[in-house]
Homo-oligomer: A and B are copies of this chain.
Amino acid sequence: MFFASDNGGPAHPSVIEAIAAANDGYTSAYGAEAGMDRVRAHLRDLFEAPEAAIYLVATGTAANSIALATLSNPWDTVFCTAMAHINEDECNAPEFYSGGAKLTLVGDEDAKMSPDALRAAIAAEESRGVHGPQRGPVSITNATEKGTVYSPGDIANLTGVARDFGLKTHLDGARFANALVSLGCSPAEMTWKAGIDAVSFGGTKNGLMGVEAVILFDADKAWEFELRRKRGAHLFSKHRFLSAQMEAYLQGDLWLDLAARANATCARLAEGLKAQGNVEFLHEPAANIIFARFPRALHKRLLDAGAQYYVWDGDAYHRDPDEPLTARLVCDWSIGAEGADAFLAALKG
């Protein structure tokens, strides 16, 4: 009953097999291996973007920070939501990589950035000339940190606002596959066709050991990205072990299959929780994450049964002991129906 994170589960066995298969003889280092050529071709094909620049790094924070730094200047401000991973969970990595850019927090609805709030936030930087931060890129996360999903139309609305001001857009796709499966659209529809300029295409949370791709649809800054990656110490010498993971991930649409499993587990879990009656959902789950508020007695029952998850109320210990608490339940690809059922059974006691 592990629902703490999609970082705590295993890699898919075929990823390990791919690594073992790649461990064969001598090859060029630093991304010049043939496997990277195949990954690049596959991703360009998948995204219908034959000119895109494509790179691999090993952490999502690296993907986001280097991508955003490449899209921004140190005197810019990046527009994102308050709950964005780049704001809350990267220990100032975006500020570090960009050389001191800042983040402007934009209002959201259901964890999705609001186009009106974005327009207002950008406009608010309108009149200060050289004194204020300059307007930088817009970054959104899909699926969001709260498990909701932007549709291509939602994204186009936001990128349209950005484009009105000449701003670039970045999509943090740590859970790209979960969003895509939820939407049933194509990778291109969820990204460049909706106006996105750069994508962090996550793999680690969806069955890889640790690989994320960065996709720059405009390759103009490809060399700058390469330099930023190297300067950030994120260019792997034995890069073949990154490309091997990504190749396995794309092979036979494994990535979509794993996300479909995670989303299905999540839907099953949500259905069971709703049937429970005394569970309140903070957001309607659309991907593989649930934020559910329920009485403390139920939490105790779950924890006693060995369930693992995070209680998401920062001030839980200062609150009225009669108030319910919020569980963040993250469904890893590997959990499956049995995992959800075990959790629901424990909940029922």
Interface residues of A (CB under 8 A from B): 2, 4-5, 7-11, 13, 16, 19-20, 23-30, 57-62, 65-66, 73-77, 88-93, 95-103, 105, 123-124, 126-128, 130-134, 204-205, 209-210, 224, 226-228, 230-238, 241, 308, 314-315, 332
> A28 contacts which chain B residues (CB < 8 A)?
8
The CA of A289 and the CA of B59, in the complex, are separated in Å by: 32
**Inter-chain contact A123/B19, CB cutoff 8 Å:** no
> A5 contacts which chain B residues (CB < 8 A)?
29, 237
**Inter-chain contact B128/A204, CB cutoff 8 Å:** no
**Inter-chain contact B100/A95, CB cutoff 8 Å:** yes
Give A302 Cβ to nearest chain B Cβ, in Å.
15
**Inter-chain contact A58/B232, CB cutoff 8 Å:** no
Say which residue of B4, B8, B24 sits within 8 Å of A10 (CB atoms): B24
The CA of A76 and the CA of B95, in the complex, are separated in Å by: 11
> A2 contacts which chain B residues (CB < 8 A)?
25-26
The CA of A315 and the CA of B62, in the complex, are separated in Å by: 35
Give A231 Cβ to nearest chain B Cβ, in Å.
5
> A25 contacts which chain B residues (CB < 8 A)?
2, 9-10
> A7 contacts which chain B residues (CB < 8 A)?
29-30, 237-238
What is the count of identical protomers in the complex? 4
**Inter-chain contact A209/B131, CB cutoff 8 Å:** no
> A105 contacts which chain B residues (CB < 8 A)?
105
- Name which residue of chain B comes closest to A318, CB basis: B123
- Name which residue of chain B comes closest to A231, CB basis: B91
The CA of A130 and the CA of B132, in the complex, are separated in Å by: 30
Say which residue of B128, B234, B237, B314 sits within 8 Å of A233 (CB atoms): B234
The CA of A133 and the CA of B11, in the complex, are separated in Å by: 29
Give A227 Cβ to nearest chain B Cβ, in Å.
5
- With contacts A10-B23, A89-B132, A124-B314 known, what are 11 further pairs, Cβ within 8 A? A8-B26, A16-B23, A74-B99, A77-B92, A88-B132, A90-B231, A92-B101, A96-B99, A98-B100, A99-B100, A102-B102
Say which residue of B4, B60, B241 sits within 8 Å of A209 (CB atoms): B241
| 23 A-B pairs (CB sep. < 8 Å) | A7-B29, A10-B23, A10-B24, A13-B23, A16-B16, A16-B23, A59-B234, A59-B237, A60-B237, A61-B230, A65-B233, A75-B92, A75-B231, A90-B231, A91-B132, A91-B133, A91-B227, A91-B230, A93-B232, A95-B100, A123-B315, A209-B238, A209-B241
The CA of A92 and the CA of B16, in the complex, are separated in Å by: 34
Say which residue of B204, B231, B234 sits within 8 Å of A74 (CB atoms): B231
> A23 contacts which chain B residues (CB < 8 A)?
10-11, 13, 16, 209
The CA of A95 and the CA of B77, in the complex, are separated in Å by: 11
A28-B8, A95-B100 given as contacts; is B235 within 8 A of A130 (CB)?
Answer: yes
Give A213 Cβ to nearest chain B Cβ, in Å.
15
> A241 contacts which chain B residues (CB < 8 A)?
11, 209-210
The CA of A61 and the CA of B228, in the complex, are separated in Å by: 13
**Inter-chain contact A238/B92, CB cutoff 8 Å:** no
> A95 contacts which chain B residues (CB < 8 A)?
74, 95, 100-102
